[in-house]
Amino acid sequence: MSADIPVEEPARRLSGTTGARSPDVWDRSFRIWDGYYAVVWLATVVFVLGTGDPSPAVRFATAGLLTLLVPLYVLFGRRLLIADGADVRRSQRYMTATIMLFLPAGTLMGETRLMAFALVPQCFMALRRVPALVAVTVVNIAPVIGWALVWTVSGREFFYNTVFALVTLVFSVAMGHWITSIIEQSQERALLIEELEASRGEVARLSAAHGALAERERLTREIHDTLAQGFTSVLMLSQALDAEIEHDPVAARRHLGMLGDTARQNLDEARALVADGGPADLHGASLPDAVRRLAGRQDPPAEVAVRGTAAPLPPGLEVVALRACQEALANVRKHAGPEPTVTVGLTYTAEALDLTVRDDGPGFDPSVPHEGYGLAGLTARAVEVGGTAEVHSAPGEGAKVTVRLPFPAPVAQAPADTRSDS
């Protein structure tokens, strides 16, 4: 019976975008900045034109300078700001032109400094950090100095205007630094999300590849321990039949019957393998009965001894035990010579199941590397369920295969509540 191999689900996307922000979303949300810019510009123009001081010529001149900011923003600035200052030179030229229009207006009338609330965010959007700080300082401080030089103002007016400019400068720098840090952090997180999504995709791919490899190894063991061993037995029996058919008809008929039984058993194993079921010998039978069936197909039949109380085991352990017995008996047929004496032992204890297969064949040196997949597959099966497999042999002393499969620990039961209601 095959174990289910968990395959990781495909990586889910952690966000709707793969960058710091989607260009389409940013383009649509930039309309908020358009509205903000329009409101601040309109309020500044209203203040400029609505005041009675200074002269109308100065007010209209100031309003004219502010009006030039609108086509400059619409035709050039907006596109550069949406691109987040990607074109450094053009962004610098745009901000320079904007500040050059704002400074004369700010020098002519103090009310124009309200426009700084629309220009400061643009400095941080269009410029890098250091140039943005320089531009913000100029936007907040230079108009006050120019205003004080152009107009005759009292020291009290200059003091309060300077304090206001310094406060707005500190506020602008703090807000700009915070906004820039948030944007940089968002971009870093977006990059991390991209890397995480790529890593999850790679993990899913490797998990699927590992699952496919594990399934391939499982099928390799199943085919080796069932179909391949059966075909080997068919080949050996057909060779014996060919040698006996003329001078020993009785032995030939016996081997012919064994050949038919082996072919039918191989067919059953093939059907079970296709259906992803357990070994055919375990269908409707206990492990000792299945082992006796295997032993009975040996030539001569192997002796089976069961010690301890034979209890039902988890299907996985029974499959491993039966496959280990199959592999050990197949090795006996291949290497133990004609008509060896073979004994199979099943020992049930409280902690484990011990399987032993012993023969009195010529033996071999286990330290010498041997070709084939059988013993390695047998060991791999045992290790997968926490067991062990050992081979003891020496030239002229036969061979013994010992497999120990520990039982899974019982699930602890919570003590029953013996309290009674009073």
**Within-domain flag for 157:** no
Is residue 140 a contact partner of residue 172, using CB atoms and an 8 Å limit? yes
Query: Does position 93 have pLDDT exceeding 90, yes or no?
Result: yes
Query: Does position 209 have pLDDT exceeding 60, yes or no?
Result: yes
3-state SS assignment for residue 409: coil
**Within-domain flag for 415:** no
Q: How many domains does the chain have?
A: 2
pLDDT score of 332: 85
Q: What is the pLDDT of residues 328-356, one digit of tens each?
A: 888 888 888 878 899 999 999 988 999 99
3-state SS assignment for residue 236: helix
Tokens describing residue 81: 């700001």
Of the chain, the percentage scoring pLDDT greater than 70 comes to 80
**Within-domain flag for 196:** no
Neighbouring-strand partners of residue 359: 342, 399
Residue whose C-alpha is closest to residue 323's, from 359, 285, 280: 280
Where among 96, 117, 152 does a domain terminate?
A: 152
Residue whose C-alpha is closest to residue 399's, from 338, 341, 321: 341
Mean pLDDT of 375-403: 86
* pLDDT band per the 50, 70, 90 thresholds, residue 33: confident
3-state SS assignment for residue 143: helix
Where among 152, 176, 201 does a domain terminate?
A: 152
Is residue 406 a contact partner of residue 387, using CB atoms and an 8 Å limit? yes
Backbone angles phi, psi at 15, to 5 degrees: -150, 165
**Within-domain flag for 82:** yes
Q: What is the pLDDT of residues 169-191, one digit of tens each?
A: 888 888 877 877 776 787 788 78
pLDDT score of 3: 40
pLDDT score of 371: 63
Q: What is the DSSP letter of 267?
A: H
pLDDT score of 99: 92
**Within-domain flag for 234:** no
Neighbouring-strand partners of residue 346: 306, 355
Torsion, Cα 150 156 162 166, to 10 degrees, reads -170
Mean pLDDT of 268-279: 64
**Within-domain flag for 400:** yes
pLDDT score of 6: 40
Higher pLDDT, 369 or 386: 386
Torsion, Cα 89 93 94 96, to 10 degrees, reads 140
Mean pLDDT of 271-297: 77
* pLDDT band per the 50, 70, 90 thresholds, residue 417: very low
Tokens describing residue 128: 């890098």
Bridge-based pairing state of the strands 352-359 and 342-348:
antiparallel
Residue whose C-alpha is closest to residue 293's, from 232, 344, 250: 344
Helix ranges (H only) for 224-314 are 229-244, 249-274, 287-296
Where among 135, 152, 169 does a domain terminate?
A: 152
Helix ranges (H only) for 74-154 are 78-82, 88-108, 116-126, 129-150
- Cis check for the bond before 10: say yes or no (omega within 30 of 0): no
CA atoms of 176 and 114, how far apart (whole Å) = 17
**Within-domain flag for 369:** yes
303 is in which domain, residue-wise? 282-407
* pLDDT band per the 50, 70, 90 thresholds, residue 226: low
Residue 100 neighbours by CB distance under 10 Å: 10
Mean pLDDT of 275-285: 70
CATH number of the domain that residue 380 is part of = 3.30.565.10
Q: What is the pLDDT of residues 114-149, one digit of tens each?
A: 898 889 888 888 888 888 889 999 998 988 888 888
Higher pLDDT, 97 or 32: 97
Residue whose C-alpha is closest to residue 109's, from 149, 58, 67: 58
**Within-domain flag for 83:** yes
Q: What is the pLDDT of residues 37-89, one digit of tens each?
A: 999 999 999 988 887 677 888 989 999 999 999 999 999 988 888 887 678 89
